Amino acid sequence: MANEPRLSRKNDPEKTRQDILTVATEEFTTHGLAGGRVDAIAAKTRTSKRMIYYYFGSKEALYLAVLERAYRKIRSLEADLELSNMPPELALRTLIGTTFDHDEANPDFVRLVSIENIHQAAHMQRSSEIRELNIPIINTLADILERGRDDGSFRRDVDPIDLHMLISAFCFFRVSNRYTFGTIFRRDLSSPELYNRHKTMVADAVLDYLKAQP
């Protein structure tokens, strides 16, 4: 597949679109929406600025396309973990580990979400695709919580969205605030040592909380 023998294939719209989106993602995640330069994106692309406007219409629309693509990617990754067969405690530990690793592995996504929050989620709200995004993790959590209460392993009665927030907050913060936190406390938050310690810590903290006597 390395060499396409056909010389004549030059137009490749889908590839061009994806190329623009990839470059734009990097530009926006490193400079923000206002700080990102369309000319800089054009220069790093195999194509031209004209094409950016041809395919996406405006800088904001391009940013939104970047955001939607990022959310589409996480949604596709989130499904199929087969947690419903596991005992509740193991299922939850697995889910927390997955969330932790997801944020760790996708700093671009974390940064885009941070940028969206600075803009008060204005673009996300205008996107029906993202707004109607139904995060399946909530149903999974609700199921785990219910089973855990039923079999007596969880004694606390917690709202699944609150629980998701408790988990997400730590995993997200570790990545989103890596630079300021690292600077102030002189810590490299991307070191393997801290990765392991923190991953264990969130899981333990959440499980201890759910198991404790209210």
Partner DNA sequence: ATATTGACACGAACTAGTTAGTACATTATT
Partner DNA sequence: AATAATGTACTAACTAGTTCGTGTCAATAT
- The residues that touch a second copy, with contacts defined as CB under 8 A, are 31-35, 111, 113-118, 120-121, 124-125, 130-131, 133, 135, 138, 156, 158-159, 161-162, 164-166, 168-170, 172-174, 176-185, 187, 197-198, 201-202, 204-206, 208-209, 211-212, 214
- In the complex with DNA, which residue's Cβ is closer, 8 or 76? 8
State both tokens at 162.
Answer: 């609150």
Q: How many residues bind DNA (CB under 7 A)?
A: 23
Per this entry, what is the length of the chain?
214
- In the complex with DNA, which residue's Cβ is closer, 6 or 186? 6
State both tokens at 59.
Answer: 């800088």
Scanning residues 10 to 29, which ones bind DNA (CB under 7 A)?
A: 10-13, 16
Scanning residues 31 to 90, which ones bind DNA (CB under 7 A)?
A: 36-39, 46-51, 53-54, 58-60
Binding partner of 197, given a second copy, DNA, none, CB within 5-8 angstroms per partner class: a second copy
Query: Coil, strand or helix: which one is 82?
Result: coil
State both tokens at 160.
Answer: 């699944």
Angle between the 59-78 and 107-118 helix axes, to the nearest 10 degrees? Answer: 130
User: Measured from the CB of residue 40, what is the shortest distance to DNA in angstroms?
Assistant: 7
- In the complex with a second copy, which residue's Cβ is closer, 46 or 197? 197
Cβ atoms of 65 and 52 within 8 Å: the answer is no
Nearest-angstrom CA–CA distance, 12 and 50: 15
Show the 3-state SS of 106-127: CHHHHHHHHHHHHCCCHHHHHC
Residues of this chain that interact with DNA (CB under 7 A) are 6, 8-13, 16, 36-39, 46-51, 53-54, 58-60
